[in-house]
């Protein structure tokens, strides 16, 4: 199965039923520019044999599967063939749609990127880091003059508390996700059918996984840094588990269907030796489906179910992508100097993050004598600095580091989100791994599985994302306030405003509004969540008393 768009010749089976039990099939050749299947489930129980429908959206094919020992064709309003399997009990649809395209790309701030050396703004990138270097020197001098030390260790004592337990807990949490391999193997063997009980078991296990780790966070009573890290990593692992299991679960359906057809076709040929036109068309229908299913089970040099191994899953854990694929584009080798450069960049950027948080953010949040307005103004630059540093550490340093270790070649982890004029553009560009996961497993699934409109699917996607964001802050602050949830959902009307022709015409106005909201929003959230928690909650008392 190719990752690149290609002209896919497919046969569309147009079915009509005659005399109640005799069926005729007519084929027509069509072309599809989509080579990326997206799988969707539509589960319904009717008390009889399961109706399994294979359709391919947007000029794609429909083919037949077995029904009580022979192909079943029913009249439909669209170019799709209804197929029934006697051993299943709920409806399930498989749609061929676009799969996430992976290709070799470099991140925009990567110094080894050839485009960086020719970028007319490359001097500003150099200037930024020079300013940051002088910022560290100036802060160290000021800290030494005021406190007699170059760097205060109060914040360090906070986030290093119970560090060994955090490390063991995190490694155990990651290790438990290996059960996805065993579960996928059971789906492949037919022990569990994904279209009936498999997807239910999958979601139950993911829910238990998430909330058990949340319970563990509360039980350990970690400070806010450890709680936030562990919760975020748990959510990331849950996303990876879901993508891996959903992908292999859908392929298990096609795999079992392919095996059934291969077993049935020789028997059918033996029973239909006459060269009747209807028999030829029926045989062509089954052979066409076999070819389609065989193509679906192959991706580059990888083939299902050979990909269901612990080694493949471990490789997937290292790959900085939340969307599973049997095969990713790879670099030729690991460059030790590149890993070293990203390690140094991570440590240096974290030092800047530490200094900004320790010297310019926490003292303001801990001070109850300063008005909220004054705190908001004084936190504008520190919070924006931290936001940019966190973005750089995660998306440029850490993800590129893991990409180099796993030889993952597609390093387009972000686009030019700083030029955004609308919030939907920002959502698409600033965190592409999460965006791709939401697009594939929430937005597309809402449309395919639950027949939602695009507008409703967008709402569901924002709702899901907002709930996860709020969940993290609930765990960090030990309070349910819903401020971030409301602000996240307010992006929907802001997106509609951003699509106004006036904003589109004057893109600079949209970009100014975007940056103003970013500058104001971060300190506002800090005041709404952190100040109340810092003043009254014991989980932050460790740092206060360590000053």
User: Is position 469 annotated as part of the catalytic site?
Assistant: yes
Token pair listed for 361: 């953010």
Distance CA 105, CA 408 (A): 10
Contact 193, 249 (CB under 8 A): no
Peptide bond into 236 cis (omega under 30): no
Beta strands in 3-49 (DSSP E): 8-18, 22-32
C-alpha distance from residue 398 to each of 140, 446, 500 (Å): 26, 32, 37
Beta strands in 122-260 (DSSP E): none
Q: Which residues pair with 85 in a beta bridge?
A: 50
**φ, ψ of residue 441 in degrees (nearest 5):** -100, -10
Contact 98, 33 (CB under 8 A): no
Contact 417, 388 (CB under 8 A): no
Distance CA 413, CA 322 (A): 11
Single out the catalytic residue among 469, 500, 543, 545. Answer: 469
The answer to whether the Cα torsion of 315, 317, 323, 324 is positive or negative is positive
Torsion angle (degrees, nearest 10) of CA 387, 388, 393, 395: 100
Q: Which sequence positions are flagged as catalytic?
A: 469
């Amino acid at each position: 199965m190719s990752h690149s768009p290609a002209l896919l010749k497919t046969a569309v089976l147009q079915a009509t039923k005659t005399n109640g039990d005799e069926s005729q099939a007519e084929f027509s050749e069509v072309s599809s520019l989509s080579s990326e299947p997206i799988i969707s489930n539509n589960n319904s129980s009717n008390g009889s044999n399961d109706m399994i429908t294979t359709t391919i959206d947007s000029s794609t094919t429909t083919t037949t599967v077995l029904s009580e020992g022979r192909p079943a064709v029913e009249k439909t309003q669209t170019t799709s063939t209804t197929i029934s399997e006697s051993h299943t009990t709920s409806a399930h649809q498989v749609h061929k749609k676009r799969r996430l395209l992976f290709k070799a790309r470099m991140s925009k701030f990567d110094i080894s990127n050839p485009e960086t050396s020719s970028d007319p703004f490359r001097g500003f990138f150099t200037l930024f880091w020079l300013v940051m270097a002088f910022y560290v020197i100036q802060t160290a001098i000021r800290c030494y003059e005021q406190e007699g030390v170059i760097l205060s260790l109060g914040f360090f004592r906070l986030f290093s508390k119970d560090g060994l337990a955090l490390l063991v807990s995190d490694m155990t949490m990651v290790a438990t996700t290996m059960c996805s391999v065993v579960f996928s193997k059971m789906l492949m063997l037919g022990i569990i059918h994904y279209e009936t009980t498999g997807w239910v078991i999958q979601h139950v296990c993911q829910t238990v996984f998430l909330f058990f780790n949340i319970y563990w966070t509360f039980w350990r009573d970690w400070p806010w840094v450890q709680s936030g890290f562990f919760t975020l990593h748990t959510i990331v692992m849950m996303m990876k588990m879901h993508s891996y299991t959903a992908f292999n679960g859908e392929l298990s359906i096609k795999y079992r269907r392919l095996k059934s057809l291969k077993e049935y076709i020789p028997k059918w040929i033996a029973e239909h030796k006459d060269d009747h036109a209807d028999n030829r068309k029926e045989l062509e229908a089954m052979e066409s489906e076999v070819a389609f299913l065989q193509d679906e089970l192959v991706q580059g040099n990888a083939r299902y179910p050979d990909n269901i191994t612990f080694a493949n899953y471990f490789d997937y854990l290292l790959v900085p992508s939340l969307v599973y694929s049997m095969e990713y584009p790879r670099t030729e080798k690991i460059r030790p100097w590149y890993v070293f450069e990203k390690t140094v960049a991570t440590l240096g950027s974290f030092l800047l993050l530490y200094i900004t948080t320790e010297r310019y953010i926490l003292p303001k949040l801990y001070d109850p004598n300063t008005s909220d307005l004054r705190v908001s103004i004084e936190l504008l630059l520190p919070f924006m600095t931290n936001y940019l540093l966190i973005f750089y550490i995660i998306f440029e340093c850490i993800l590129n580091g893991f990409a180099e270790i796993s030889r993952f070649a597609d390093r387009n982890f972000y686009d030019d989100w700083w030029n955004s004029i609308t919030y939907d553009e920002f959502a698409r560009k600033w965190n592409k791994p999460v965006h791709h996961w939401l697009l594939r497993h929430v937005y597309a699934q809402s449309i395919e599985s639950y027949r939602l409109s695009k507008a409703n699917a967008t709402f569901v996607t924002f709702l899901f994302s907002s709930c996860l964001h709020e969940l993290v802050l609930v765990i960090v602050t030990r309070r349910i306030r819903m401020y971030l949830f409301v602000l996240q959902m307010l992006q929907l009307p802001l997106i509609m405003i951003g699509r106004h022709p006036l904003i589109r015409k004057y893109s600079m106005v949209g970009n100014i509004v975007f940056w103003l909201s970013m500058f104001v929003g971060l300190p506002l959230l800090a005041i709404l969540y952190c100040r109340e928690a810092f003043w009254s909650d014991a989980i932050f008392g460790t740092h206060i008393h360590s000053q």
